[in-house]
Structures are given as C-alpha cells and as structure tokens.
Structure 1
Amino acid sequence: MSERTPLTYADAGVDIDAGNRLVDAIREPVEATRRPEVIGGLGGFGGLFELPVERYRRPVLVSGTDGVGTKLRLAIDHRRYDGIGIDLVAMCVNDVLVTGAEPLFFLDYYATARLDAAVAAPVIRSIAEGCRQAGAALIGGETAEMPGMYGAGDFDLAGFCVGVVEYEARIDGSGLTEGDTVIGLASSGPHSNGYSLIRRILETHGAGLDTPVGDATLADALLAPTRIYVNAIHALLERVDVRGMAHITGGGLAENLARVIPEHLGATLERDAWPRPPVFDWLAEAGNVSEAEMQRTFNCGIGYCVIVPSDQVAETLDVLAAAGEQAWRLGEIRRRDPHTDAVRLV
C-alpha cells in the first residue's frame, strides 16, 4: 500500500491559527464597546449580558437582524472596509430603535472562503465603531471559513441586535392622531438599500467611482456608512411625545412609513420639503430611473422619520439639530380614504 501525505484542516482551506490571531487583533476595539452589564469577555461559547431589570417595571426585549446587501460587493471590489461594519450595525439598531428601545448588545457573523486578517480586522473594527456609536456592546460573533462556499476574496456579513424598552413606553404608531406631523431626518446617502440597482446602473453607464457627484466622488457618496440615529432619537424621546417612527430602508419613504400608521389614517408628504442629495439625481439620470422607481427603491435623502404632535414640531427640530441631525417637516397625518395610498407624496 502506497504511503499517503497526511492532510490537515489548513490543507482543506481552514486556518484555525489565523482565526485566533484575528481575535487578538480585534480585542481592543471590541472591548471599547463594553457596557457595565456585560459579563466576561471574548472567547466564550456565548455572550453574557445582565438585563438591568431594576430600571424597568415591565421590560420588553426587542430584537433585530439584517445584513448590508450587495453594497458589500462594492466595498469588496474597491477594498473599502472601514465603513461597511457601521452599515451592518446601523441596519439592525435603527430597526430596533423604531420601537423606542435602547440597543443593548450586538453580535456579528463574518463568513469567508479563506480568512484574511488584513480584510477581516478592519471590517470587525468598523462593526465595533458602529456599536460604539449606538451604545451597544459587541458581546460576541462568529468568524467562519468556508472554502468552496465563497469566491476568493469574498465575504458576507450578518448582524443581530437586542434592545429593551419599557412596555408602557413602547412606540408602535397606535397613538397617532389626525394632524400629527411627520419629521424626516437626513440620510447619509443610499445607506444599505437599492445596491443591486446601483450596481446595474454603474455597469450599464460605465462610470468610474472617481466620478464627481456634488462635493464628493461617486465612491464616497455610495459607500458612506448608514447613519445611526440612536443618540438623537433618545434625546428626542426625553423631550417630545413621539407617537410613531420609521426606519427608511428597502421600499423607500412611502412603504416604510405606512408600516407604522394605523389603517384608518394616512400621511400626505410634500416632495419638495427636503433637498435631495446629488447622488440620487445622478442615479436617476445615469440609469434613466423613473421618479416612482426612485421613491420605492431608495430613501432619496430621508433615512428616518418621527411623527409628533403638531405643537411640538419646533422643539423636535431644535432637539434634533442640537444632536447633530438635519431634519425637515415633511407633512402630516390625515384621515385616510380607503381607496387611496396610505402615504401620498404631493
């Protein structure tokens, strides 16, 4: 019988030592997200977090999970890794925030064909930065090497967030009344939605990412991290009677806002109430994309909405401005004719 060369896990494409080195490389930025409720550190089988029940009469846990879609393809192709982790956190924490919850902790999943610390480390550091911005502890994650499942240099991301809100303070839109005002907060660009269309436009138009768009390049405009609204919204919740909120993601302003408005009500919004960032005009022109398609695919400059009583609009705008957010009055809540759309842009 002929002698065979012994095989190792590394021969099959999985380098356990590289995974251990990555843990060491990310330990410091992950530790910077630590909250007092975190028990233990990196390396355990599960992340431990002590729920601060003394702060609540009836705590409700709120969970969310998401990825960053095909924006990841642009980041990989152009080796722009320092913002994509912020996108991952933002897509999860902004969803949890809609209920009025405080994000408590976050976990990530990073999967690749072969682990490259030069790529993985900045990605996970950017996840930690997103957690820092959101006030959430990064208490665990998974880094998976799966040769044969991904192409060379490719990786995928998923995120998972848990928050908490007082039962009586949760926000679900049920308290909306006719005459309430819709306030929109500026996005930082397309955020993490519509990138399959964006990539198709880039392919058919042939534009390079160094193309000027407004005061930035196309690369900067398209790869700007999704804005995290946690601090601004929690400052607002302390001052204003916020009755409904919406994170503007896939489906655009109309579809996402409709999700938090009771069936007997609707919203009328003014199309010209906010300035549309130049990147959206460039996409519309370069791709010959109709206005209707733009509105249902992209956030078009509004990344988050709050609905407040009409007599608290000025205070709302003041609080958001003090928190560093640009915001505009978009329109109002109205009684809905059952034969019309829940949200109308006029």
Structure 2
Amino acid sequence: MDYREAGVDVEAGRAFVNDIRSLVHSTFRPEVLGGLGGFGGCFQLPSGYKEPVLVSGTDGVGTKLKIAHTLNRHDTVGIDLVAMCVNDVLTSGAEPLFFLDYVATGKLEREQLTQVVAGIAFGCKQAGCALLGGETAEMPGFYQAGEYDLAGFCVGIVEKSQMLDRTQVQIGDIAIALPSTGVHSNGYSLVRKIIDDNGLAWDNTPNLLNGATLAETFLTPTQIYVKPVLAAQKSGLKIHGMAHITGGGLPENLPRCLGTNQAIKIEPQNWSTPPLFQWLAQTGGVNPEAMYNTFNMGIGFVILVPPSQVSQAISFLESQNIQAFAIGEVISGSGELIGIPA
C-alpha cells in the first residue's frame, strides 16, 4: 500500500503546482523575493513609509461554493476569495500587498483547481497585490467528490498617520455608496434555500433578471474596490471612514466604521435596489428588514467624507469608472443604523 492508494496523489500535486506557476508569477510585484515552491513567501516592504502599519484580513467564499460545485464552474470563486479579503483590508486605508490561499479538497482535480487559481490570480491583479503563495490540501474522505473549500489571507500596508481607525469620522459626514455587482459572497444559504424550496433550476431565467439565468446572476463575482478608492485617497480627497458591506448587510457593517456616540441615518430612496434583490424578496417571501440584514441590497462599499467634498468624491470615483451616490449622514447616536425599511 502507498499514499496514492490511501487517496493522496503526491505526483498530481506536483503537477498542479507546475500548472499554476505562470498564473502565480503573473501577479508578482517588485517587492516579491524568490519564487513559488518555498516553505514561505517572502515580501520586502515598499519604500517611502515613515511608520508603516501592516493590516491583515482573512475570509472565505461561503456556500456560494455549493453553486460552483453544482454547475461545475470554477473560474469566478477565486475572484470572490480575493475580493472578500482585500476589500476588508482597504477599510483601514491600506494598500493590499500580498495574498495567500488555502484550498482543501477530497481529491485533487487539476483542471478544476487550476480554474480556481486562475480566478485568484485575476482578483489579485485587480487589487494590485501579489499571490505570494498558498496551500493545497488533499483530504480524502473529508469532502465529497468534486468539492473543495477555500480560505484567503491578505496583508496590506498604510502609513500610521493616514490609517482609518474610526476616530476621524465626524457628525455630519456623508456616506457615499459604491454599488455591488450582486449578492457578492454573503447570504447564499438563504439564496439556495429560496431556489430549492421553489423547485427552480439554475438555468431558469426569471423575468425580473432581464434574461439572465440564475446561475449567471448568482455566480457573478464580488466587486473589488481597491484601485478606485486608493486613487481617491491619493487625489487628496478626505476620506474619514470606510465600510465593506458583507455578512449582515448595511445594518451590521456600516456602523463598524463609526466613532463613539455616533450613528448613521440612511435614505433607501436614494438608490434603486437591483432587480435580483426584488426577485429574492418576492420569491422567498422575505420581509424588508430580513433582506437588509442578510444582503448588501446593491451597495458593496461605503466611504464617509465631509459634506464639502461630496461632489468632488462622486465626480472622482465616476472618473475611475465606478458609480457613486450619497445615501446617508453621520448623526449623534449609539452606533445604530437608522432608516432601514420595516
């Protein structure tokens, strides 16, 4: 008996590393030291910082992976993995430097996982960070055939004097929203239950989705906001706070960037909720409060700026090919979000 008979193919693992080598190298920044295959990835800190602060983040893709497994489509979830990490790190004002991934599977399927890594590499290039390394674990008997799980890890850098830590936010600051590309990577247990309970197929094309299939709609990858937001910072725009709208939606995530004795009042009529959220609410019989507490409702990222800079912020972000619109204001309070439909 050998390791292959026990379900672990070491040679296939080595071949897989060769398959992805060029994908990984395509993401490298000048600060990367060495190549793929060492016990650790090495990265030299960029120059020009007086008091550099490293900001780290980790996340996964959640049960959105179940849809990728069901449809045998694996080229977008890697983008989601990167997005969930780099968007979190960005909220401190940090530039993502490098990313690592962890992939666990029951049996290593080279073509399948190469698609996953291709998505990760594409996401890293969108965020401007290096795919510094990772781990692929073949764990027979632990996962169903054809299934895998993903985790991602990101490290960014920010000058200590420019780091956003909630103390910069002021009463009267305006919340400017950047739209999501859909459900992103949260709320998929509810999405799948709605689809399963209604006996729907992934190739169905509901009228509200304008001809798109359920598969196309719910595998749309998470938007990466790094480059336009960092560009806005570098342009001189005074950003006092940022929030990545993930699990728990606006009610849970927007207050996370507020200071002491502050709250935020939003105006839901200031934006049009995308049709896919209307479809989820109608098809699943989900009330408005539950929708807002589960999904991003069309808003993926929020920045807080002084009232005097609202027009400048919107104009600049739109010059970076991303829509932006004001949705609310910071007020006195106890960390709550006001204005969610009941």
TM-score (structure 2 length as normaliser) = 0.96
Q: Which residue of 1 aligns with 2:179?
A: 186
- Give the whole-Å Cα distance in 2 for the aligned partners of 1:342 and 1:117: 46
Residue 72 of structure 1 is aligned with which of 54, 65, 72?
65
Q: Which residue of 2 aligns with 1:236?
A: 232
Q: Which residue of 2 aligns with 1:32?
A: 26
Does the CA-based 8 Å contact 2:240-2:305 persist in structure 1? Answer: yes
- Give the whole-Å Cα distance in 2 for the aligned partners of 1:27 and 1:57: 34
What do the CA deviations read for 1:96-118 (whole angstroms, capped 9, x no partner)? 00000000000000110110012
Q: Which residue of 2 aligns with 1:15?
A: 9
Amino acid at match of 1:208: A
| Structure 2 unaligned regions, length at least 5 | none
Count of aligned pairs = 337
Does the CA-based 8 Å contact 2:268-2:339 persist in structure 1? Answer: no
Q: Which residue of 1 aligns with 2:42?
A: 48
- Give the whole-Å Cα distance in 1 for the aligned partners of 2:330 and 2:278: 28
| Structure 1 unaligned regions, length at least 5 | 1-6
Report SS of the residue matched to 2:93: coil
What do the CA deviations read for 1:76-131 (whole angstroms, capped 9, x no partner)? 11112110000000000000000000000000001101100121100011101100
The ranges of structure 1 where at least 4 consecutive aligned residues each deviate by more than 4 angstroms after the TM superposition are: none
Residue 302 of structure 2 is aligned with which of 296, 305, 319?
305
Does the CA-based 8 Å contact 2:87-2:244 persist in structure 1? Answer: yes
- Give the whole-Å Cα distance in 2 for the aligned partners of 1:343 and 1:42: 49
User: Displacement, 1:323?
Assistant: 1.1
Report SS of the residue matched to 2:141: coil
- Give the whole-Å Cα distance in 2 for the aligned partners of 1:184 and 1:79: 33
TM-score (structure 1 length as normaliser) = 0.95
User: Which shows bigger deviation, 88-97 or 262-271?
Assistant: 262-271
Q: Which residue of 1 aligns with 2:127?
A: 134
- Give the whole-Å Cα distance in 2 for the aligned partners of 1:214 and 1:190: 16
User: Displacement, 1:254?
Assistant: 1.8
The CA RMSD over aligned residues, in Å, is 1.1
Q: Which residue of 2 aligns with 1:225?
A: 221
What do the CA deviations read for 1:239-290 (whole angstroms, capped 9, x no partner)? 2100000000001012101111123111111111111111111111110001
Q: Which residue of 2 aligns with 1:4?
A: none
Does the CA-based 8 Å contact 1:258-1:343 persist in structure 2? Answer: no
Q: Which residue of 2 aligns with 1:254?
A: 251
Q: Which residue of 1 aligns with 2:242?
A: 245
Residue 283 of structure 2 is aligned with which of 286, 294, 302?
286
Q: Which residue of 2 aligns with 1:268?
A: 265
Q: Which residue of 2 aligns with 1:113?
A: 106
What do the CA deviations read for 1:48-95 (whole angstroms, capped 9, x no partner)? 00112x311100000000000000001111112110000000000000
Does the CA-based 8 Å contact 2:101-2:153 persist in structure 1? Answer: yes
